[in-house]
Amino acid sequence: MSKFKKKKKGLPAISTASLPDIVFMLLFFFMVSTTMRETDLLIKKPVLPTASEVKKLEHKSLVSTIYVGKSKDTRISGDKIQVNDKIIDVNDIPNFIFAERALRKEEEVKFMTTSIKADKEANVGTILDIKEQLRDINALKVSFSTTKGNNIKSNY
Amino acid sequence: MARRENSEINAGSMADIAFLLLIFFLVTTTMDVDSGIARKLPEKSEDTPEVTIKEKNVLDIVVNRNNQLLVENEYVQVADIRRLAMEFIDNGGGLSAPKDDQPGKPCDYCNGAKDPESSDHPTKAIISLQSDRGTTYGMYVSIQNEIEAAYNELRNKLSLQKYKRRYDDLLKDYKDNPTENLKVKIDFLKDSYPQIITEPEPIK
């Protein structure tokens, strides 16, 4: 009789050894795909000029960034200015700076820096207009964002 | 019939591989730091006092919409600006501006040609950068960079002479460990070669 008696086979335990690996995989996926950018660019990504005498921008929380570049639509010519998530006119820059100032503590306002990230093909006229607007409202600390390098010839 | 054992794959080394990858990404990931040329804009004031500045104390740099450069009415290349600016700032042909009832002094740290036709003193030397609205931004930044480089190089030279250290190193030390002693040195170098850059209205 024992011949027909089926041997009771238990279900083999599922190995949990691979569980940490799955978790790690997820971790990697997020590590690779995460970018530390706060704003989505509505203009073409500016190609920053190269400069050798650069200073690092301290206190990231006190930096407001202005992007200058060409529109994504090739039919539209001229330089476009973007702050946060919208394209604005030069005359709206003071409003943007005031809004940025309102978010900071009062004693920090004088340490605020405006970083201009402009494409190297942009016109100086646009940049000078921005500078004039910043001067008007006493936002005097400006940084022209560049990549560090010695090949200055690539700028023009 | 040989019964095959339901053998498990050894997963013990998986964790090691995962860690290896983790460490690799930790080491290679850079959070891109925003860096650039720092500039302080001039304050806007209602009443600007009239000041007379001698022609020889101003280095005129003009750039047109075709990215061509004129320095003191001579056609030059971007690479020449650093040398020209250094020669101009470091000339020391005359006296400094009188300060607090003290008469002007000749520049005792300048290594320039002492040409009476060029700038009097580093504290009087003004660099004027006039650009056209159509100049490209890349060109503009390059010129700003060269001017900055000229000042930095002069400060480096003076710093090596006086403190046997480079100016950049002093700045780096100051950032790590701000002491009063270092601040005095840095301020002295900055005052010896102050950056006086003016940007007149652009050419329309």
For residue B14, what is the nearest residue in chain A, using CA coordinates? A21
User: The domain spanning residue A100 has which CATH number?
Assistant: 3.30.420.270
User: Across chain A, what does the average pLDDT equal?
Assistant: 83
Of residues B42, B152, B202, nearest to A124 (C-beta): B202
Do B134 and A36 make contact, defined as CB atoms within 8 angstroms?
A: no
Residue B9 belongs to some domain of the structure: no
A155 to chain B, any CB pair closer than 8 A? The answer is yes
What is the DSSP annotation of B143-187? HHHHHHHHHHHHHHHHHHHHHSS-HHHHHHHHHHS--HHHHHHHH
What's the structural domain count of chain B?
1
pLDDT digits (tens, 9 = 90+) for A21-39: 777 787 777 777 666 656 7
Interface of B with A in 148-187 (CB under 8 A): 148-149, 152
Give the pLDDT mean for A119-142.
Answer: 89
| A34 phi/psi in degrees, rounded to 5 | -80, 130
What's the structural domain count of chain A?
1
Task: Residue A68: list chain B partners with CB under 8 A.
Answer: 137
Do B133 and A125 make contact, defined as CB atoms within 8 angstroms?
A: yes
User: Across chain B, what does the average pLDDT equal?
Assistant: 82
Residue A148 belongs to some domain of the structure: yes
Of residues A18, A60, A125, nearest to B134 (C-beta): A125
Residue B16 belongs to some domain of the structure: no
pLDDT digits (tens, 9 = 90+) for A52-95: 888 888 787 888 889 998 888 877 778 889 988 888 888 999 99
Task: Residue A145: list chain B partners with CB under 8 A.
Answer: 34-36
Residue B45 belongs to some domain of the structure: no
List of residues 6+ apart from B11 with CB closer than 8 A: A15, A17, A18, A21
Residue A37 belongs to some domain of the structure: no
* CA-CA-CA-CA dihedral for A147, A151, A154, A155, to nearest 10: 50
Tell if the pTM clears 0.80, that is, is over it: no
Of residues B40, B41, B149, nearest to A52 (C-beta): B149
**Domain ranges, residue A137:** 50-155
Residue A11 belongs to some domain of the structure: no
**Domain ranges, residue B82:** 59-198
B145 to chain A, any CB pair closer than 8 A? The answer is yes
Residue B187's alpha-carbon distances to B6, B83, B130, B193, in angstroms, are 77, 24, 29, 10
Residue A29 belongs to some domain of the structure: no
pLDDT digits (tens, 9 = 90+) for B41-63: 888 777 777 778 888 888 889 99
Residue B15 has pLDDT above 80, yes or no: no
Between CA B202 and CA B129 the distance in angstroms is 9
Between CA B155 and CA B168 the distance in angstroms is 9
Q: Nearest 5 degrees, angle CA A81-CA A84-CA A87?
A: 35
